[in-house]
Amino acid sequence: MKPLSNSLQHMDVTTTLHPYTDARVHEEKGPLVIERGEGIHVIDSTGKKYIEALSGLWSVAVGFSQTRLRDAAAAQMEKLPYYHTFAGKGHEPSIRLSEKLVEMTPENLTRVFFTSSGSEANDTVVKMVWYMNNALGRPEKKKFLARNKAYHGITVASGSLTGLPANHRDFDLPAIPVVHLTCPHFYRFGHDGETEAEFSARLVKEAEDTILREGPKTIAAFIGEPVMGAGGVMVPPAGYWEGIAALCKKYDILLVADEVINGFGRTGARWGCEKMGFTPDILVTSKQLTSSYMPLAAVLFSEAIYDAIADNSHKIGTFGHGYTATGHPVATAVGLENLAIIEEQGLIENAARMGEQLQAGLAKFADHPLVGEVRGTGLIAAIELVADKATKRPFDPLGKVGAKAFEIGHEEGMIIRNLGDSLALCPPLIATAADVDEIVRIMGVILDRTAEWLA
Ligand code: PLP
């Protein structure tokens, strides 16, 4: 091991197993220690400043130094730092946040269940749906439909719904009944000569054929991110969601919108499902709910689902599900203040405006020799790098060039994320026009320097 320059680095490599990290490479390199946040920037332990162009993990809507969230957390810590919501207990912040979320979400969503992470929220969805179908006397209706390249989390059930090989490999997943359908990414999965409309129709037919093959009575729910995030930022073409929503209605299948990234303005609309034109029976939200200042997620669901669960809890005496931190008072107090800031500062509208500027700025890179596709909507985007523009041939091995671009980004003072060879951007919703210009400028430098490195 190389000598390490400071003791935090040494402590880290001798004690910590990092998520999504090659542990042996990490032992050599050590951590990048982030010390402070300032608006859309973070600052590392050497004083180097970076634009956080992925909002941390797609989540810090209000930037990294919002003192109102600090004050809301401190005030709640002072008053009631912890209490639970088991056995009929409640407290003001979680009750008020439930009410606020019901007000903010599509009209049919009237009930809320809190967890601390998106993964736990999606596990909760699976368990609620199973519990409900057992209660309704249809115990065979348990399977989920999801998509390849979907990201729904990493716990045993949510990780099963996720459609990314690295989340399954050597973890013995999927471990629940789930069928993964084709990812609705036209650039990669459209056939030669196919139009986007034909692609959407083919994927909807694939879903219907799957439902018929498996038996509609066995399919409980379809889960999808309206705009896909961690799998590479994919915006499904027109007709896709309309077709999927119609199928769910036809076969009595619940439609679950995983809005953990999309929610609260990321796509330029309040909800991704609104942007994509469908109404879910269940909506899952997290990340921008508290700008990730506190861990919190929420499952919103319809009165019909609530009634079935409530009746069964009455019949058997309880709804035997919940976490120590369900509705945590500090997390929900921070969530309330964060949503107030998003509303007062018009951050959803800002995301729509800045999103247009970002997408237009990035679109100029479509001609760059390394770029296969520029895609996105609102303040979420990706640039896919390819070995051959004409044939769309990816680099081999996939991810090596993306990793180099990621590293160059750090050198240039901007944190992006490489998903394979797709470079993702997802800046905080507070980004200004000047910030977006700077993000686009640095992205150009990253592309040029990556091309030079390859040459
Ligand atoms: N669902 C989506 C769409 C996500 O993007 C994520 C995380 O990135 C999750 C679920 C899982 O959330 P968490 O990491 O909080 O468990």
The closest of 285, 303, 326, 276 to 100, measured between CA atoms, is 285
Written as six digits, the tokens of 156 are: 């045993």
Tens-digit pLDDT profile for residues 21-49: 999 999 999 999 999 999 999 999 999 99
Residues with CB under 6 A from ligand 1: 57, 117-119, 122, 151-153, 225, 229-230, 258, 260-261, 286
pTM for this entry: 0.97
SS3 376: strand
Backbone angles phi, psi at 234, to 5 degrees: -120, 125
Query: Which pLDDT belongs to residue 447?
Result: 98
How confident is residue 5, by pLDDT bands cut at 50, 70 and 90? Answer: low
Mean pLDDT of the chain: 97
Tell me the pLDDT tens digit for each residue of 395-418: 999 999 999 999 999 999 999 999
Beta-strand ranges (E) seen in 45-84 are 49-52
In whole angstroms, give the CA distance from residue 430 to residue 427. 8
Query: Please, which residues have CB within 8 angstroms of residue 243's CB and are 6 or more apart in sequence?
Result: 200, 201, 203, 204, 207
Cβ atoms of 29 and 56 within 8 Å: the answer is no
CA 288 from chain centre, in angstroms, equals 10
- pLDDT by residue (tens digit) across 105-123? 999 999 999 999 999 999 9
Quote the CA–CA distance of 326 and 84 in Å, as a whole number.
7
- Given ligand 1 and candidates 286, 292, 296, 417, which is best to mutate, with the most ligand atoms within 8 Å of its CB? 286
* Residue 389 pLDDT > 50: yes
228 Cα to the center of ligand 1, angstroms: 11
**Residue 126, pLDDT above cutoff 90:** yes
The angle formed by the CA atoms of residues 188, 167 and 450, to the nearest 5 degrees, is 50
Each residue's pLDDT tens digit, 155-198: 999 999 999 999 999 999 999 999 999 999 999 999 999 999 99
> Ligand 1 test: best mutation among 144, 256, 261, most atoms within 8 Å of CB?
261
DSSP state of 190: P
Which of 48, 54, 56 is closest to 412 using CA atoms?
48
pLDDT > 70? residue 54: yes
Q: Which is nearest to 112 in space by CA: 313, 322, 341?
A: 322
Q: Residue 6's pLDDT is what?
A: 63
Work out which ligand 1 atom sits closest to the CA atom of 225: 3
Ligand 1 geometric centre to CA of 122 (Å): 9
Nearest atom in ligand 1 to 155's CA: 16
Span 157-169, pLDDT tens digits = 999 999 999 999 9
453 C-alpha to center of ligand 1: Å?
Answer: 33
Please identify, by atom number, the ligand 1 atom nearest to the C-alpha of residue 153: 11
Residue 417 phi/psi, 5-degree rounding, is: -135, 130
Question: 49 forms bridges with which residues in the sheet?
Answer: 43
Cα(401) to centroid of ligand 1, in Å?
Answer: 25
Q: What is the ipTM of this complex?
A: 0.99
Cβ neighbours of 366 (radius 10 Å): 13
Tokens of 426: 């997802």
Cα 99 to Cα 116: distance, rounded to the nearest angstrom = 18
pLDDT tens digit sequence for 250-304 = 999 999 999 999 999 999 999 999 999 999 999 999 999 999 999 999 999 999 9
Residue 299's pLDDT is 99
